[in-house]
Protein backbone atom coordinates (compact mmCIF):
# COMPACT_ATOMS: atom_id res chain seq x y z
CA UNK A 1 0.00 0.00 0.00
CA UNK A 2 2.63 2.41 1.08
CA UNK A 3 4.67 1.60 -1.99
CA UNK A 4 1.84 2.31 -4.47
CA UNK A 5 1.15 5.60 -2.75
CA UNK A 6 4.75 6.55 -3.16
CA UNK A 7 4.70 5.63 -6.82
CA UNK A 8 1.56 7.63 -7.39
CA UNK A 9 3.01 10.64 -5.64
CA UNK A 10 6.20 10.28 -7.58
CA UNK A 11 4.30 10.17 -10.86
CA UNK A 12 2.33 13.24 -9.90
CA UNK A 13 5.46 15.14 -9.01
CA UNK A 14 7.04 14.01 -12.25
CA UNK A 15 4.18 15.20 -14.40
CA UNK A 16 4.23 18.52 -12.56
CA UNK A 17 7.88 18.90 -13.42
CA UNK A 18 7.20 17.96 -17.02
CA UNK A 19 4.42 20.47 -17.45
CA UNK A 20 6.44 23.26 -15.91
CA UNK A 21 9.21 22.23 -18.28
CA UNK A 22 6.85 22.72 -21.19
CA UNK A 23 5.98 26.20 -19.95
CA UNK A 24 9.69 26.98 -19.69
CA UNK A 25 10.22 25.94 -23.28
CA UNK A 26 8.05 28.79 -24.50
CA UNK A 27 10.37 31.21 -22.72
CA UNK A 28 13.35 32.05 -24.90
CA UNK A 29 16.36 33.00 -22.85
CA UNK A 30 18.95 35.16 -24.59
CA UNK A 31 22.42 35.76 -23.25
CA UNK A 32 23.93 39.18 -23.83
CA UNK A 33 27.66 39.79 -23.28
CA UNK A 34 29.26 43.13 -22.59
CA UNK A 35 32.45 44.64 -21.16
CA UNK A 36 30.52 47.47 -19.49
CA UNK A 37 30.26 46.28 -15.90
CA UNK A 38 29.82 49.91 -14.84
CA UNK A 39 26.64 50.21 -16.95
CA UNK A 40 25.00 47.10 -15.50
CA UNK A 41 22.12 48.98 -13.83
CA UNK A 42 21.28 50.72 -17.09
CA UNK A 43 21.32 47.51 -19.11
CA UNK A 44 19.20 45.66 -16.53
CA UNK A 45 16.68 48.47 -16.79
CA UNK A 46 16.72 48.30 -20.61
CA UNK A 47 16.20 44.55 -20.46
CA UNK A 48 13.22 45.01 -18.12
CA UNK A 49 11.60 47.44 -20.57
CA UNK A 50 12.28 45.08 -23.47
CA UNK A 51 10.84 42.09 -21.61
CA UNK A 52 7.66 44.00 -20.79
CA UNK A 53 7.15 44.57 -24.51
CA UNK A 54 8.21 41.06 -25.48
CA UNK A 55 6.82 38.56 -23.01
CA UNK A 56 8.31 35.19 -23.74
CA UNK A 57 11.86 36.50 -24.16
CA UNK A 58 14.19 36.96 -21.25
CA UNK A 59 17.67 38.40 -21.53
CA UNK A 60 20.60 37.49 -19.28
CA UNK A 61 23.24 40.20 -19.08
CA UNK A 62 26.83 39.06 -18.45
CA UNK A 63 29.97 41.18 -18.29
CA UNK A 64 33.71 40.53 -18.54
CA UNK A 65 36.65 42.80 -17.77
CA UNK A 66 37.38 45.07 -20.77
CA UNK A 67 41.03 44.02 -21.11
CA UNK A 68 40.05 40.34 -21.39
CA UNK A 69 36.75 40.74 -23.19
CA UNK A 70 38.04 40.32 -26.72
CA UNK A 71 40.04 37.24 -25.72
CA UNK A 72 37.19 35.55 -23.84
CA UNK A 73 34.69 36.38 -26.56
CA UNK A 74 36.83 35.20 -29.44
CA UNK A 75 37.70 31.99 -27.62
CA UNK A 76 34.02 31.26 -27.00
CA UNK A 77 33.07 32.08 -30.60
CA UNK A 78 35.89 29.95 -31.99
CA UNK A 79 34.57 27.03 -29.94
CA UNK A 80 31.13 27.52 -31.53
CA UNK A 81 29.59 28.87 -28.34
CA UNK A 82 29.26 32.43 -27.15
CA UNK A 83 26.25 34.57 -26.34
CA UNK A 84 23.24 35.28 -28.58
CA UNK A 85 23.66 39.04 -28.47
CA UNK A 86 27.16 40.49 -28.31
CA UNK A 87 28.45 43.92 -27.57
CA UNK A 88 31.29 44.30 -30.06
CA UNK A 89 33.84 46.98 -30.79
CA UNK A 90 34.31 48.78 -34.08
CA UNK A 91 36.77 49.09 -36.98
CA UNK A 92 39.78 46.74 -36.83
CA UNK A 93 38.61 45.08 -33.63
CA UNK A 94 35.26 44.29 -35.20
CA UNK A 95 36.97 42.74 -38.19
CA UNK A 96 38.78 40.12 -36.09
CA UNK A 97 35.38 38.82 -35.00
CA UNK A 98 33.34 39.45 -38.14
CA UNK A 99 35.84 38.09 -40.68
CA UNK A 100 35.61 34.44 -39.55
CA UNK A 101 31.80 34.64 -39.93
CA UNK A 102 30.90 34.64 -36.26
CA UNK A 103 28.39 37.47 -36.64
CA UNK A 104 25.06 37.69 -38.44
CA UNK A 105 25.02 40.30 -41.22
CA UNK A 106 22.42 42.99 -40.55
CA UNK A 107 20.52 44.94 -43.17
CA UNK A 108 17.33 46.93 -43.46
CA UNK A 109 15.36 43.70 -43.93
CA UNK A 110 16.20 42.11 -40.61
CA UNK A 111 16.82 45.39 -38.76
CA UNK A 112 14.76 48.15 -40.45
CA UNK A 113 15.90 50.59 -37.74
CA UNK A 114 19.34 50.79 -39.42
CA UNK A 115 17.81 53.49 -41.65
CA UNK A 116 17.90 55.69 -38.57
CA UNK A 117 21.70 55.76 -38.26
CA UNK A 118 24.21 58.14 -39.85
CA UNK A 119 26.45 56.68 -42.57
CA UNK A 120 29.69 57.05 -40.60
CA UNK A 121 28.31 55.11 -37.64
CA UNK A 122 27.33 52.18 -39.86
CA UNK A 123 30.72 52.33 -41.58
CA UNK A 124 32.31 51.71 -38.18
CA UNK A 125 30.44 48.40 -37.92
CA UNK A 126 30.96 47.36 -41.55
CA UNK A 127 33.36 44.66 -42.65
CA UNK A 128 35.44 46.18 -45.44
CA UNK A 129 35.75 42.85 -47.27
CA UNK A 130 32.03 42.36 -47.95
CA UNK A 131 30.58 45.81 -47.21
CA UNK A 132 28.00 44.39 -44.83
CA UNK A 133 26.96 45.86 -41.48
CA UNK A 134 27.45 43.53 -38.52
CA UNK A 135 26.28 45.51 -35.51
CA UNK A 136 23.92 48.25 -34.38
CA UNK A 137 26.18 51.14 -33.31
CA UNK A 138 25.73 52.36 -29.75
CA UNK A 139 27.84 55.43 -29.10
CA UNK A 140 29.72 58.22 -30.76
CA UNK A 141 32.82 59.50 -29.03
CA UNK A 142 34.66 62.71 -29.71
CA UNK A 143 38.15 63.99 -28.96
CA UNK A 144 38.07 67.63 -27.90
CA UNK A 145 39.05 69.86 -24.99
CA UNK A 146 37.18 69.67 -21.69
CA UNK A 147 37.60 72.77 -19.51
CA UNK A 148 36.84 73.81 -15.98
CA UNK A 149 34.38 76.71 -16.29
CA UNK A 150 35.05 77.97 -12.78
CA UNK A 151 38.80 78.30 -13.34
CA UNK A 152 38.14 80.07 -16.64
CA UNK A 153 35.65 82.48 -15.02
CA UNK A 154 37.89 83.17 -12.00
CA UNK A 155 40.69 84.16 -14.33
CA UNK A 156 38.53 86.10 -16.74
CA UNK A 157 39.32 83.95 -19.77
CA UNK A 158 37.05 82.35 -22.37
CA UNK A 159 37.55 79.27 -24.58
CA UNK A 160 40.15 80.11 -27.25
CA UNK A 161 39.26 80.12 -30.93
CA UNK A 162 42.72 80.21 -32.48
CA UNK A 163 45.96 78.51 -31.59
CA UNK A 164 47.58 81.83 -30.64
CA UNK A 165 44.72 82.56 -28.28
CA UNK A 166 45.22 79.13 -26.72
CA UNK A 167 48.92 79.79 -26.16
CA UNK A 168 48.24 83.22 -24.59
CA UNK A 169 45.57 81.74 -22.35
CA UNK A 170 47.79 78.89 -21.25
CA UNK A 171 50.62 81.33 -20.48
CA UNK A 172 48.25 83.50 -18.41
CA UNK A 173 47.05 80.52 -16.39
CA UNK A 174 50.56 79.22 -15.82
CA UNK A 175 51.64 82.65 -14.59
CA UNK A 176 48.95 82.31 -11.93
CA UNK A 177 50.28 78.91 -10.89
CA UNK A 178 47.42 76.97 -12.43
CA UNK A 179 48.33 73.95 -14.53
CA UNK A 180 46.80 74.78 -17.93
CA UNK A 181 46.46 71.18 -19.19
CA UNK A 182 46.15 68.19 -16.84
CA UNK A 183 47.45 65.92 -19.60
CA UNK A 184 50.43 63.60 -19.29
CA UNK A 185 52.01 61.31 -21.87
CA UNK A 186 53.23 58.31 -19.83
CA UNK A 187 50.24 56.19 -20.87
CA UNK A 188 50.84 55.55 -24.56
CA UNK A 189 47.28 55.86 -25.88
CA UNK A 190 46.86 59.26 -24.24
CA UNK A 191 49.17 60.63 -26.93
CA UNK A 192 46.61 59.75 -29.56
CA UNK A 193 43.69 61.32 -27.70
CA UNK A 194 45.73 64.49 -27.16
CA UNK A 195 46.43 64.73 -30.90
CA UNK A 196 42.72 64.23 -31.65
CA UNK A 197 41.61 66.77 -29.07
CA UNK A 198 44.08 69.54 -29.89
CA UNK A 199 45.10 69.20 -33.54
CA UNK A 200 41.96 68.22 -35.49
CA UNK A 201 41.07 71.74 -36.63
CA UNK A 202 44.63 72.34 -37.82
CA UNK A 203 44.69 69.10 -39.79
CA UNK A 204 41.26 69.60 -41.32
CA UNK A 205 38.80 67.51 -43.30
CA UNK A 206 40.70 68.15 -46.49
CA UNK A 207 43.83 66.58 -45.02
CA UNK A 208 41.83 63.48 -44.18
CA UNK A 209 40.44 63.30 -47.71
CA UNK A 210 43.94 63.69 -49.15
CA UNK A 211 45.26 60.89 -46.93
CA UNK A 212 42.45 58.61 -48.04
CA UNK A 213 43.00 59.36 -51.72
CA UNK A 214 46.78 59.28 -51.41
CA UNK A 215 47.18 62.87 -52.56
CA UNK A 216 49.03 63.56 -49.32
CA UNK A 217 50.78 61.39 -46.76
CA UNK A 218 51.87 61.96 -43.18
CA UNK A 219 54.94 63.95 -44.14
CA UNK A 220 52.51 66.61 -45.36
CA UNK A 221 53.25 70.14 -44.01
CA UNK A 222 49.79 70.26 -42.42
CA UNK A 223 50.63 67.25 -40.26
CA UNK A 224 54.18 68.39 -39.44
CA UNK A 225 53.00 71.90 -38.53
CA UNK A 226 50.31 70.49 -36.26
CA UNK A 227 52.89 68.28 -34.50
CA UNK A 228 55.20 71.28 -34.09
CA UNK A 229 52.36 73.22 -32.45
CA UNK A 230 51.70 70.27 -30.15
CA UNK A 231 55.33 70.29 -29.08
CA UNK A 232 54.97 74.04 -28.31
CA UNK A 233 51.87 73.64 -26.18
CA UNK A 234 53.25 70.66 -24.26
CA UNK A 235 55.14 73.10 -22.00
CA UNK A 236 51.71 73.83 -20.52
CA UNK A 237 50.90 70.20 -19.74
CA UNK A 238 51.04 68.75 -16.24
CA UNK A 239 54.47 69.22 -14.55
CA UNK A 240 56.81 66.33 -15.48
CA UNK A 241 54.19 65.29 -18.03
CA UNK A 242 56.31 62.53 -19.56
CA UNK A 243 55.98 60.60 -16.29
CA UNK A 244 52.31 61.42 -15.65
CA UNK A 245 50.02 58.53 -16.50
CA UNK A 246 46.35 58.60 -17.41
CA UNK A 247 44.90 58.16 -13.89
CA UNK A 248 47.20 60.83 -12.42
CA UNK A 249 46.24 63.33 -15.10
CA UNK A 250 42.54 62.64 -14.52
CA UNK A 251 43.01 63.16 -10.79
CA UNK A 252 44.74 66.47 -11.39
CA UNK A 253 41.76 67.70 -13.39
CA UNK A 254 39.12 66.23 -11.06
CA UNK A 255 40.78 67.92 -8.09
CA UNK A 256 40.32 71.25 -9.87
CA UNK A 257 44.05 71.87 -10.07
CA UNK A 258 44.20 72.06 -13.87
CA UNK A 259 42.09 74.15 -16.22
CA UNK A 260 41.83 71.92 -19.30
CA UNK A 261 41.99 68.29 -20.36
CA UNK A 262 42.51 67.38 -23.99
CA UNK A 263 40.79 64.06 -24.51
CA UNK A 264 37.57 62.16 -24.98
CA UNK A 265 33.99 63.33 -24.54
CA UNK A 266 33.63 60.21 -22.38
CA UNK A 267 35.78 61.90 -19.72
CA UNK A 268 33.03 64.37 -18.84
CA UNK A 269 30.68 61.85 -17.18
CA UNK A 270 33.65 60.25 -15.46
CA UNK A 271 34.94 63.60 -14.09
CA UNK A 272 31.45 64.53 -12.90
CA UNK A 273 31.03 61.20 -11.12
CA UNK A 274 34.24 61.74 -9.21
CA UNK A 275 33.57 65.36 -8.39
CA UNK A 276 29.95 66.44 -8.89
CA UNK A 277 30.76 70.06 -8.04
CA UNK A 278 32.84 70.50 -11.23
CA UNK A 279 31.31 72.90 -13.72
CA UNK A 280 32.56 71.72 -17.09
CA UNK A 281 32.44 72.87 -20.69
CA UNK A 282 33.89 71.62 -23.95
CA UNK A 283 35.45 73.32 -26.96
CA UNK A 284 36.83 72.05 -30.27
CA UNK A 285 40.51 72.10 -31.24
CA UNK A 286 41.65 75.69 -31.94
CA UNK A 287 42.25 76.71 -35.56
CA UNK A 288 45.55 77.90 -36.99
CA UNK A 289 44.11 81.15 -38.34
CA UNK A 290 40.75 82.83 -37.70
CA UNK A 291 38.12 81.80 -40.22
CA UNK A 292 39.18 78.16 -40.52
CA UNK A 293 36.64 75.53 -39.58
CA UNK A 294 36.58 74.21 -36.00
CA UNK A 295 36.58 70.42 -35.85
CA UNK A 296 36.41 67.68 -33.30
CA UNK A 297 37.61 64.13 -34.00
CA UNK A 298 34.84 61.57 -33.83
CA UNK A 299 34.59 57.80 -33.91
CA UNK A 300 32.14 55.12 -32.92
CA UNK A 301 32.75 52.88 -29.95
CA UNK A 302 31.11 49.69 -31.00
CA UNK A 303 27.78 48.03 -31.49
CA UNK A 304 25.37 45.24 -30.65
CA UNK A 305 25.68 42.15 -32.84
CA UNK A 306 23.92 38.81 -33.21
CA UNK A 307 25.84 35.53 -33.02
CA UNK A 308 25.55 33.81 -36.42
CA UNK A 309 25.48 30.44 -34.66
CA UNK A 310 22.73 31.39 -32.20
CA UNK A 311 19.70 29.09 -32.19
CA UNK A 312 17.50 31.97 -31.11
CA UNK A 313 18.22 34.41 -33.91
CA UNK A 314 14.65 35.72 -34.14
CA UNK A 315 14.54 36.66 -30.49
CA UNK A 316 18.08 38.05 -30.67
CA UNK A 317 17.14 40.21 -33.66
CA UNK A 318 14.10 41.49 -31.77
CA UNK A 319 16.35 42.56 -28.92
CA UNK A 320 18.90 44.18 -31.23
CA UNK A 321 16.10 46.01 -33.03
CA UNK A 322 14.96 47.35 -29.68
CA UNK A 323 18.52 48.59 -29.07
CA UNK A 324 18.24 50.55 -32.33
CA UNK A 325 15.12 52.53 -31.39
CA UNK A 326 15.17 56.26 -30.57
CA UNK A 327 13.54 55.35 -27.25
CA UNK A 328 16.59 53.27 -26.36
CA UNK A 329 18.99 55.87 -27.79
CA UNK A 330 17.42 58.58 -25.63
CA UNK A 331 17.69 56.47 -22.47
CA UNK A 332 21.29 55.51 -23.36
CA UNK A 333 22.35 59.10 -23.97
CA UNK A 334 20.70 60.54 -20.90
CA UNK A 335 21.67 57.80 -18.46
CA UNK A 336 25.22 57.09 -19.60
CA UNK A 337 26.00 60.63 -20.84
CA UNK A 338 27.35 59.06 -24.01
CA UNK A 339 25.99 60.21 -27.31
CA UNK A 340 23.89 57.61 -29.12
CA UNK A 341 24.15 57.96 -32.91
CA UNK A 342 20.44 57.19 -33.42
CA UNK A 343 18.63 60.05 -35.14
CA UNK A 344 15.76 61.73 -33.32
CA UNK A 345 16.88 61.22 -29.73
CA UNK A 346 16.14 63.80 -27.03
CA UNK A 347 19.24 64.92 -25.14
CA UNK A 348 18.79 66.34 -21.62
CA UNK A 349 22.38 66.91 -20.53
CA UNK A 350 23.79 70.29 -21.58
CA UNK A 351 27.33 69.09 -22.31
CA UNK A 352 26.12 66.10 -24.32
CA UNK A 353 23.98 68.53 -26.32
CA UNK A 354 27.06 70.64 -26.88
CA UNK A 355 29.06 67.60 -28.05
CA UNK A 356 26.23 66.61 -30.40
CA UNK A 357 26.27 70.12 -31.85
CA UNK A 358 30.07 70.17 -32.25
CA UNK A 359 29.90 66.77 -33.94
CA UNK A 360 28.16 68.41 -36.88
CA UNK A 361 31.64 69.65 -37.84
CA UNK A 362 34.00 66.79 -37.37
CA UNK A 363 36.74 64.74 -38.95
CA UNK A 364 37.52 61.11 -38.22
CA UNK A 365 39.60 60.15 -35.25
CA UNK A 366 42.04 59.31 -37.98
CA UNK A 367 44.26 56.43 -36.86
CA UNK A 368 41.49 54.48 -35.16
CA UNK A 369 39.00 54.91 -37.97
CA UNK A 370 41.33 54.33 -40.92
CA UNK A 371 44.61 52.74 -39.85
CA UNK A 372 43.85 50.16 -37.19
CA UNK A 373 43.46 47.22 -39.55
CA UNK A 374 47.05 46.15 -40.13
CA UNK A 375 50.37 46.14 -38.29
CA UNK A 376 52.02 48.44 -37.50
CA UNK A 377 48.72 50.16 -36.83
CA UNK A 378 48.54 53.92 -37.27
CA UNK A 379 47.65 54.16 -33.58
CA UNK A 380 50.78 52.31 -32.44
CA UNK A 381 52.91 54.55 -34.65
CA UNK A 382 51.24 57.80 -33.65
CA UNK A 383 51.25 56.98 -29.95
CA UNK A 384 54.90 56.01 -29.67
CA UNK A 385 56.26 58.65 -32.03
CA UNK A 386 54.33 61.52 -30.48
CA UNK A 387 55.39 60.27 -27.05
CA UNK A 388 59.00 60.29 -28.24
CA UNK A 389 58.64 63.72 -29.82
CA UNK A 390 57.09 65.25 -26.70
CA UNK A 391 59.90 63.74 -24.62
CA UNK A 392 62.26 65.75 -26.80
CA UNK A 393 63.89 62.70 -28.37
CA UNK A 394 62.89 63.44 -31.95
CA UNK A 395 61.69 66.37 -34.02
CA UNK A 396 58.16 66.74 -35.43
CA UNK A 397 59.63 66.04 -38.89
CA UNK A 398 61.20 62.80 -37.69
CA UNK A 399 57.98 61.75 -35.93
CA UNK A 400 55.94 62.40 -39.08
CA UNK A 401 58.44 60.49 -41.22
CA UNK A 402 58.42 57.49 -38.86
CA UNK A 403 54.62 57.37 -38.81
CA UNK A 404 54.51 57.61 -42.57
CA UNK A 405 57.13 54.94 -43.07
CA UNK A 406 55.21 52.46 -40.92
CA UNK A 407 51.87 53.01 -42.62
CA UNK A 408 53.39 52.99 -46.10
CA UNK A 409 54.46 49.36 -45.59
CA UNK A 410 50.88 48.27 -46.23
CA UNK A 411 48.81 51.30 -47.29
CA UNK A 412 48.56 51.22 -51.08
CA UNK A 413 47.82 54.95 -51.70
CA UNK A 414 51.17 55.83 -50.04
CA UNK A 415 53.16 53.41 -52.18
CA UNK A 416 52.77 55.20 -55.49
Partner 1 sequence: MLVSRKQAPSLKRQLWVAFLVVPPIVFMSLFVVYPILSAFAYAFYDWQGLARGEFVGLKNFKEVLFGATMAPVVWNAFLHNVYALVALMIIQNGGGFLLAWLLYKEPFGFRFHRIAVFVPVVLSTIIVGFLWKLFLNPNFGIINQALYSLGLDSWAKPWLGDSSTALGALILANAWHFVGFPTLVYLAGMQRIPSEIIEAARLDGTNEWQLLKNIVWPLVAPSTTILFTLLFIGAFNWFEIPYVMVGLDGSPFGTTDVLGLVFYRTAFGNQSASIQNFGMGSALATLLFLFIVVFASMLTLWLRRREIQF
Least distance in angstroms from the C-beta of 239 to partner 1: 6
Q: Which is nearer to partner 1, 92 or 286 (CB)?
A: 92
Q: Does 71 bind partner 1 (CB under 8 A)?
A: yes
Q: Does 63 bind partner 1 (CB under 8 A)?
A: no
Q: Which is nearer to partner 1, 99 or 334 (CB)?
A: 99
Q: Which is nearer to partner 1, 62 or 375 (CB)?
A: 375
Q: Among 55-63, 89-97, 112-120, 220-228, which window interacts with partner 1 (CB under 8 A)?
A: 89-97
Among 10, 14, 100, 344, binds partner 1 (CB under 8 A): 100
Q: Among 18-26, 110-118, 238-246, 261-269, which window interacts with partner 1 (CB under 8 A)?
A: 238-246
Among 47, 88, 90, 97, binds partner 1 (CB under 8 A): 97
Three-state SS string across the chain, please?
CHHHHHHHHHHHHHHHHHHHHHHHHHCEEEEEEECCHHHHHHHHHHHHHHHHHCCCEEEEEEECCHHHHHHHHHHHHHCCCCCCEEEEECHHHHHHHHCCCCECCECCCCCHHHHHCCHHHHHHCECCCCCCECCEECCEEEEEEEEEHHHHHHCCCCCCCEHHHHHHHHHHHHHCCCEEECCCCCCCCHHHHHHHHHHHHHHHHHHHHHHHHCCCCCCCHHHHHHHHHHHHHHHHCCCCHHHCCHHHHHHHHHCCCEEEEEEECHHHHHHHHHCCCCCEEEECCCECCCCCCCCEEEEECEEEEEECCCCCHHHHHHHHHHCCCHHHHHHHHHHHCCECCCCCCCCCCHHHHHHHHHCCCEEECHHHHHCCCCCCCHHHHHHHHHHHHHCCCCCHHHHHHHHHHHHHCCCHHHCC
Among 7, 13, 78, 209, binds partner 1 (CB under 8 A): 78
Least distance in angstroms from the C-beta of 411 to partner 1: 13
Q: Does 309 bind partner 1 (CB under 8 A)?
A: no
Least distance in angstroms from the C-beta of 319 to partner 1: 24
Q: Which is nearer to partner 1, 28 or 87 (CB)?
A: 87
Among 188, 351, 401, 408, binds partner 1 (CB under 8 A): 188
Least distance in angstroms from the C-beta of 392 to partner 1: 10
Which residues, numbered 362-401, are part of the site for partner 1 (CB under 8 A)?
Answer: 372-377, 379-380, 383-385, 387-388, 391, 393
Among 201, 352, 406, 407, binds partner 1 (CB under 8 A): 406
Binding site for partner 1 (CB under 8 A): 66-67, 70-71, 74-75, 77-78, 92-93, 95-97, 99-102, 184-189, 192, 238-245, 248, 372-377, 379-380, 383-385, 387-388, 391, 393, 406, 409
Amino acid sequence: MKLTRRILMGAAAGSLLLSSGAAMAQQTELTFWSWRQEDRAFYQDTIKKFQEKNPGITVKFETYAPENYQTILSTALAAGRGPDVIQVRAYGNLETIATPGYLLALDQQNVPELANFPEASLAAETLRADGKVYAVPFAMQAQLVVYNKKIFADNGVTPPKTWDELMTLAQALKAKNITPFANGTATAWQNETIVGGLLSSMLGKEFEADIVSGKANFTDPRFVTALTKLKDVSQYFSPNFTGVDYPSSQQLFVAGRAAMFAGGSYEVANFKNQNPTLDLGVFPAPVLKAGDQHLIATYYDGGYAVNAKSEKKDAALKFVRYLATPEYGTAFTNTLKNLSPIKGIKIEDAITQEVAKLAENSMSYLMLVRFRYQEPSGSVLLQSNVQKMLAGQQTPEQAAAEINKGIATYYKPFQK
